[in-house]
Amino acid sequence: MTATDTLVPPTTDSDRAAATRPGRHPSTTRRLLGTELRLLTRDTITFTFVLAFPVISMLIIGGVFGTEPDEAFPVNPSHWYVASYFTVVIGSTGLIMLPVHMASYRERGVLRRFAASGFPRWSFALAELAIGLGAIAVAGPLLLAIAAPVYGIPDIEDPLRVVAGVVAGSVAFISIGVLLGSVLPSARAAQSVGLMLFFPSFLLGVGGPPPAVMSEPLREVAERLPLALATDAIREPWLGIGDGTGPLIAISVVAVVATALAARRTALS
């Protein structure tokens, strides 16, 4: 900066119009989405958790019970867990990655800066929705790619219902993540709450013991957990052990309610 530098006073509408760049200017949401995608690739710790935790857990637990169906497992146990762990990606994205990221932005005043700069109220939530779907789209196939040479990928019996389950489960948990990120005051709080929600859901509803070996009360609880509903909506039509209609309807209702609440609560402040 030098003493001879001068700034053009930006004072009139005509000045502003004259400076308008030719061609289409990317919308705020698009610019935010592009920026957030770049930042996601630099946030190695969080992204590694979302990518690596399901993969490592799946590799460990998938080999514990062998490959033969028995009383506990109606299908090859390894395949049971490969199909199940797809939703761990969804759960870790929605319950840990997004809430911590959003709460961290709020805590550090990043959201207020977005708000003061005229970013639309929805822009950040929409960007996070896309980020969440992107993370799931990367981490899910990665998990299957790593499972394929080790345990094999089970045949998908009803692809349409599986896709419906993945979409409904993803929207539900991303919305829950946006909602948590909107109401929790700090990154530390978001991390604590997220982990408290994630691990019981993970152990009871997805990656722990199969429902057949659980006690009746525990099974009653496990069947009603949102992550378990998402898992059943995907796993049953995938493995051909049911059509998953009940869980699909239930997780769709969760998705609608969570999306409505997240939309109502979301704000850049």
Partner 1 sequence: MNPNDLPPHPEPVVRVRGLTKAYGGRTVVDRLDLDVHAGEVLGLIGANGAGKTTTVEILQGLRRQDAGEVRVLRLDPHHDADRLRPQIGSQLQSSGLPDRLRVGEAVALFAGPHASDGGALLEQFGLAGKRRSPYAGLSGGERQRLFLVLALLNQPRLVILDELTQGLDPAARREVWSAVAQLRDAGTTVLLVTHELDEAEALCERVVAMRDGRVMDQGTPAELVARHAGEVTVRFGLTETDLTTTADALQSLNRLPGVTGVTRERGQVAVRGDRAAIAHVGAWLLGTGRPVPADLRVDVPDLESALLTLLDSDGSDASDQKGAA
Residues of this chain that interact with partner 1 (CB under 8 A) are 1, 5-12, 15-17, 19-21, 25, 28, 31-32, 35, 38-39, 42-43, 105, 108-110, 112-113, 115-118, 120, 269
Looking at the Cβ atoms of 25 and 224, the one nearer to partner 1 is: 25
C-alpha 118/C-alpha 113 separation (Å) is 9
Distance (Å, whole) CA 49 – CA 115: 30
Nearest to 47 by CA among 147, 174, 136, 107: 136
**Of 12 and 215, which CB lies nearer to partner 1 in the complex structure?**
12
Question: Cβ distance 238 to 162 under 8 Å?
Answer: yes
Q: Which residue's CB is nearer to partner 1, number 36 or number 236?
A: 36
Task: Tell me how far, at minimum, the Cβ of 103 lies from partner 1, in Å.
Answer: 13
Size of the chain in residues: 269
Q: How many CB atoms lie within 10 A of CB 73?
A: 21
**CB 30, min distance to partner 1, A:** 11
Shortest separation between residue 114's beta carbon and partner 1, angstroms = 9
Torsion angle (degrees, nearest 10) of CA 213, 215, 219, 222: -90
End-to-end CA distance of the chain: 33
The nearest distance, CB 129 to partner 1, in angstroms, is: 18
Residue number, 118 or 149, with CB nearest to partner 1: 118
Nearest approach, Cβ of residue 39 and partner 1 (Å): 5
63 phi, psi to nearest 5 deg = -100, -5
Taking the least distance from each CB to partner 1, the nearer of 224 and 264 is 264
Minimum distance between the CB of residue 178 and partner 1, rounded to whole angstroms?
A: 17
Nearest to partner 1 of 39, 60 (CB atom): 39
Alpha-carbon span 158 to 50, nearest angstrom: 27
* Cα–chain center distance at 130: 10
